[in-house]
Amino acid sequence: MGRAMLGTLSTYFAQGGWVMYGLLVFSIISVMVMIERAWVLWKSGTNVASLVAKIRKALVAKKSVKDAIAVCESSKSPVASVLKAGLAKFGKSKEEVEKAIETAVIFETSRLEKWLAVLATTANVAPLLGFLGTVTGMIESFDALAKAGLSNPGLVAAGIKEALITTAAGLIVAIPTQLAYNFFMGKVNKIIRDIEIGVNALLETFADLEATMPGVKKPKTGALPAGAVVTRKIAPPPPGGIKSTPKF
């Protein structure tokens, strides 16, 4: 049964014409990106509440910034990396702390969104390639019809079959790629929200230390200023196409 299915797929691939090679390349690249992003985003997850609690304990109970940084270094998550950047500027001015956090957020966001543009491009281009195959197949059908007339309908059917195969192949590549893109962007947005929660908690902890360590200048609490940490909600791309990934 497996060999028969492979034989059928190879036959369809050959009948689909040269467009099928382009779709094959896009499908292979998409699968590679999906596997890589799934692994990276899985490792990027963390329990924000637990991480913040450990950092707060190191700062408030032990009065040790070094221990708080060690807690961040024990985690490989983007949230820990951003909080570590803020801790490294502990005792500096409010502007320096915010700048360090902003820079870390931009770096971690770009790392999380790496290669996702490839999935967006594939989901957008694959149906167009399928449509291109449809057009070329119909052109061949009408060309055969012009040469042979209605005496040989098999020649016309071959071109129509090529058109249908490429259309189906384009959708087969695009649909799972679109779903994967939406899923990964949802994960990225969740991690960014976790970063914002962690940063707000860290700044509140800095404020709590003002009373116990008055000799150290610490940033004020409150709402984060514009540009410090930005939470973005990316809606699923419309059916007509996918816009490029937003940047900071």
| Between residues 29 and 137, the one the model is more confident about | 29
pTM of the model: 0.78
What residues make up the domain containing 197?
18-211
User: Whose structure tokens read 């994967």?
Assistant: 180
Report, as an integer, the average pLDDT of 151-180: 87
User: In the 8-state DSSP scheme, what is residue 74?
Assistant: T
In a domain, 217, yes or no: no
In a domain, 109, yes or no: yes
In a domain, 233, yes or no: no
In a domain, 218, yes or no: no
How many independent structural domains does the chain possess?
A: 1
Which of 200, 163, 210, 243 is CA-nearest to residue 60? 210
In a domain, 91, yes or no: yes
Tokens representing 47? 């329990």
Q: Convert 98-109 to b/e letters by CB count within 10 Å (16 or more is b).
A: bbbbbebbbebb
In a domain, 248, yes or no: no
pLDDT tens profile 85-140 = 999 988 888 889 989 999 999 999 999 999 999 999 999 999 999 999 989 888 88
In a domain, 226, yes or no: no
In a domain, 45, yes or no: yes
